[in-house]
Amino acid sequence: MGKATLGPLCTVLLLPLMVCGVPTEEPTSGEAVISGPTEGCRRCCDPQDPQADTTDMASTSPSALPYVLPEVRPYINITILKGDKGERGPLGAPGKSGKEGPRGDRGPQGAKGAKGQAGSPGGPCQRRFSAFSVGRKAALHSSEGFQPLLFDTVFVNPDGHFDMAAGHFAAPMRGLYFFSLNVHSWNFKETYVHVVHNDEAAVILYAQPSDRSIMQSQSVVLALAPGDRVWVRLFKRERENAIYSDNVDTYITFSGHLVQPQDD
């Protein structure tokens, strides 16, 4: 065979030998590894003398040249690179309020504060009280029509709200008043008595004629305006009307007092 024929054949046989010269370790970062035939590798068509003429190499085709790996660029992990802290962004819109949480425990009692200033003096105290209790020791027989029952004994009348001369109680203020009347009936005579509010009978005390005299009572609560009058009167009908007393003991009493004042 001629020398020109052996050139392509040597290239085919040389390719496996060229691969064996590639290093098995991965290149380090930033280094480019160029693989070539090791010192012990030779082509089958090379001359035996290491200093052989290199003119044949120059005339060899590019496919027969040693394989050169491409340059490996270093790998940089950008995730580990941290830049400078940026400026704070604008405040976002507030979100919706959450649900109200449970009420907390009561905190400890605080220290006692300083004493405050004295307040302004109050107005004069208004008296909101009224009461009376009167009696009669003399018996009384009714005349025709109505007859006021007058009293001759005072038990209590501190503010003079009961007029002894007229036999009337005059309400000093608006409110609820309680009144009580007690009389002693006369044997075989009728007892017919009214408790009067102004000019109208409020309640009636009545006892039929009997051979025995007995104590009778009546009570009532009235709503009065200032100046309203409450008094007692006898009323004669067909039969004789009377109340008993013996000029010694008090058998007839009339009492009243303010239960609850009411504002105008």
Q: Is 188 left (phi over 0), alpha (psi -120 to 50) or beta?
A: left
Which of 233-248 are b and which e, b meaning 16 or more Cβ less than 10 Å from the residue's Cβ? Answer: bbbbeeeebbbbbeee
* CATH, domain 131-261, list 3.40.50.300, 2.160.20.60, 3.30.413.10, 2.60.120.40: 2.60.120.40
CB atoms under 10 Å from CB of 64, counted, come to 17
Domain extents in the chain: 3-64, 131-261
Q: Are 245 and 251 in contact (CB under 8 A)?
A: yes
| Run of H or E including 229 | strand 229-235
| Run of H or E including 4 | helix 3-19
Query: What is the Cα–Cα distance from 47 to 227, expressed in whole angstroms?
Result: 156
Number of H helices, E strands in the chain: 2, 13
pLDDT tens-digit profile, the chain (264 residues): 444 455 555 455 555 445 444 444 444 444 444 444 445 555 555 555 555 444 555 455 555 556 566 666 766 666 666 777 888 888 888 888 888 888 888 888 888 888 888 888 766 666 688 999 999 998 888 777 788 999 999 999 999 999 999 999 999 999 999 999 999 988 888 888 999 999 999 999 988 888 888 889 999 999 999 999 999 998 876 777 888 888 888 999 999 999 999 886
| Run of H or E including 158 | none
Q: Are 203 and 218 in contact (CB under 8 A)?
A: yes
